Structure 1
């Protein structure tokens, strides 16, 4: 189901919140704009509570946990409702835990050696992070030319301006990013801005993935 949804709408917004109510409003705004796959980053003390609230109350949303640094964090995230796991780096213990529990996992990679290691672990989809600081679309094209069976999810530095450039690369399964959930707008309660950004991303994605 996750792969099918990503194929139809290849954009994954990152949600960072320390209040479950705010997290739910943010997700509702993203869904209103057409985005249903949500990554809740574990960067606040209340992140797991926000994750659980979304998993229980946001109908139609597929929610995962991001910034997962250890197997213990992965376990806690799953207990709180995470349907997939995203990490900034390649952690063997996190990968093996997810594989054992048949969970989608997207560990972060940058170098050819890290992609090779991910391949050796049996992974065929990884996160390319931080995409903007690591060569962007040209670097992804270079990696894709030698790792022909690998799919990538660039995150970090992705924006409205370069979304189409990334999605035009055949090996890119989706793009992730926090540009869709600007903290300033959310703090101001302007969730309409989140919906507008989500709608724009969906439109741009459709122009590339017709």
Structure 2
């Protein structure tokens, strides 16, 4: 599953809102707020009981390319794609998840934290990976250290990133996009702070284009 496939789905945008949404009823207003802020896609994490329904609702709502995140098993990947996920993101590298996504024709971005995991991903035909958890792992220093011996790899760093360090990550040539939850935290979503979600998303998108 090549980086070109992922880049096509991401459509040139470099900001990936990472969402944990407990209630499908919030999917429509949330999608509207993200789209109004300039987001083109979003990752819905499979961390809640209703995640599959949230993916389905957001995908049906339109306006965003919706992916599924925190996908841990091939079975979850199948359910996510059936619900309408356009891409799959995993916190680690699992061969069954990668194989299933390839069979389903859906781009997959597995997580890696070490050079060994990155080599396993490359052996499986994956050249776009999620560096996770980016900031706890050492942030930009770690990303640069991994990028140096693997020049064809593109990274989607996620984990501990916020607006204060976003621009620094985006300036790295090896970075395809940056994922983060600060634009639409569970608190934002639970309290219906859609204007704030739109504002934070617009700020992130603006930072990504300057």
- Coarse TM-score class (shorter-chain normalised): over 0.9
Structure 1: 5+ residue stretches without partners? none
Q: How does 1:59-78 map to 2 (within 5 A)?
A: 59-78=62-81
1:105 aligns with 2:108: yes
Q: CA deviation at 1:54?
A: 0.8
Matches within 5 A, 1:41-120: 41-57=45-61, 59-120=62-123
User: 1:64-118: CA deviations, max 9, x gaps?
Assistant: 1000000000001111111100000000000011112221100000100011110
Q: Deviations over 1:35-88 (max 9, x none)?
A: 02111101111110111011112x231011000000000001111111100000
- The match for 2:39 is 35
Match of 1:179 in 2: 182
Shift of residue 189, structure 1, vs aligned partner:
1.7
Provide the rounded CA distance (Å) in 2 between the counterparts of 1:85 and 1:185.
24
Q: TM-score scaled to structure 1, two decimals?
A: 0.94
Compared with structure 1, are the counterparts of its residues 7 and 54 closer, same or farther at alpha carbon in structure 2 (3 Å cutoff)? closer
Gaps of 5+ in 2: none
Measured in 2, the distance between the counterparts of 1:91 and 1:45 equals 22
> How many residues are matched?
206
Query: Alignment partner of 2:204: what SS?
Result: helix
Distance, in Å, in 1 between the alignment partners of 2:167 and 2:117 is: 25
**TM-score, scaled relative to structure 2:** 0.94
Name 1:157's counterpart in structure 2: 160
